[in-house]
Amino acid sequence: MAGVDGEDGLTEAFLREPRRYTSHQVAYMAGVPVYRARRYWRALGFANVSDDAVEFTDSDVEALRTMLALVSSGVYDEEHMLLVARSIGSATARLAESQAELGVEALDQAGVPLAERPRAWRRRAERVVPDLARLLVYAWQRQLAAAAGRIAEQDMSAVRLAVGFADLVAFTRLSRQITGSELSRLIDRFEGRSADIVTSTGGRVIKTLGDSVLFVADRSHVVAEIALRLVETHAKIKDMPELRVGLAAGPVIWRMGDVFGTTVNLASRLTALSLPGTILADPQFAEELEGDRAFRLRPVNRLSVRGLGELAPFTVTRAGS
């Protein structure tokens, strides 16, 4: 379905095929009522269009048939198929926005006038869309293989993880003091370096929120090492605000690529209570680090953690620091 509005064939340049059907025609060709077809389109993140709008392509028909076949064959029930569609829509929407922004930056750097943008966009689409499509499928298959390997024999109702939450101190105030382009570069550096550190150390990035990153690993010492590397690395970057980190270990609810529950909330709350450049861990997390000579634990005074009562956390530093 149309994802880019524009004239002079711009939408078709990205879709790589002509729009030729209305929503009712697509639903008819797939053999379902239009209301059911629209449920899937909305799950994928596409807005409803008027009944007489010719916005759909042969790929829209094929995509709808594919989702319906997965349900009719019993691979998914209807609700699970809609969840799959929502996860795909959410992930690809963010990916598309970021790639479109990078495309605009490339055109700006090349000095392309606004009047010539549609033509330049079409040329760019012809060059990059096929390659990016292949990269997207490749990365997704690799990620799926890794995720399946991790959870194939795991009871997803009782997942236990070490959780880390890191954020930049006084980021809101800083964002009011620098230009938009400077802020974008800072966020890019923070998110890029953070993701590199988490993955290279053996953890998994759950999400980044501009000034913060949520990450997990199966073992507490891995998350502790990630936290230390995050603080150490970002401290070396010029004009980067100081980082603070909260760590917790325990049961989590894992759903659609995200994590929830008291353990996640505790890591977030401890981050808010941490001083700049400090890593705070809950007692359970600290207990799991005992005996590990790579880390030094120091108890701090009992703190009142909003919504979770009082606890006595520990600071985490490198041994010998």
Which residue stretches of 152-282 are H helix?
171-175, 180-201, 220-235, 262-273
Please tell me whether residue 154 adopts helix, strand or coil conformation. Answer: coil
pLDDT at 158: 62
What pLDDT shows up at residue 213? Answer: 92
Residues 257 and 87: beta-carbon distance below 8 Å: yes
Give the residue carrying structure tokens 């499928």. 137
What is the Cα–Cα distance from 172 to 254, expressed in whole angstroms?
30
Whats the size of the chain, residue-wise?
A: 321
Q: CB-based contacts of 94: which residues, under 8 Å, 6+ apart? A: none
**Assign residue 74 a region: left if phi > 0, alpha if psi is -120 to 50, beta otherwise?**
left
Q: What is the pLDDT of residue 6?
A: 46
Span 115-154, pLDDT tens digits: 888 888 888 888 889 999 999 999 999 988 887 877 766 6
Rounded distance, CA 171 to CA 16, Å? Answer: 41
Residue the block writes with tokens 């795991």: 154
pLDDT along the chain (321 residues), means of 10: 52 88 95 94 90 93 96 94 90 87 86 86 87 92 84 67 92 78 82 91 89 92 96 87 93 83 92 92 92 89 76 89 68
User: Concatenated DSSP letters for 46-66?
Assistant: PPP--TT---B-HHHHHHHHH
Q: What is the pLDDT of residue 253?
A: 86
Residue 155: per-residue pLDDT: 62
Residue pair 168/187 in contact by the 8 Å Cβ criterion: no
Q: Which residue has the tokens 């929502």?
A: 86
Residue 31: which residues within 8 A CB-CB, separation 6 or more? 68
Distance CA 203, CA 206 (A): 10
d(CA 14, CA 130) in angstroms, rounded, equals: 10
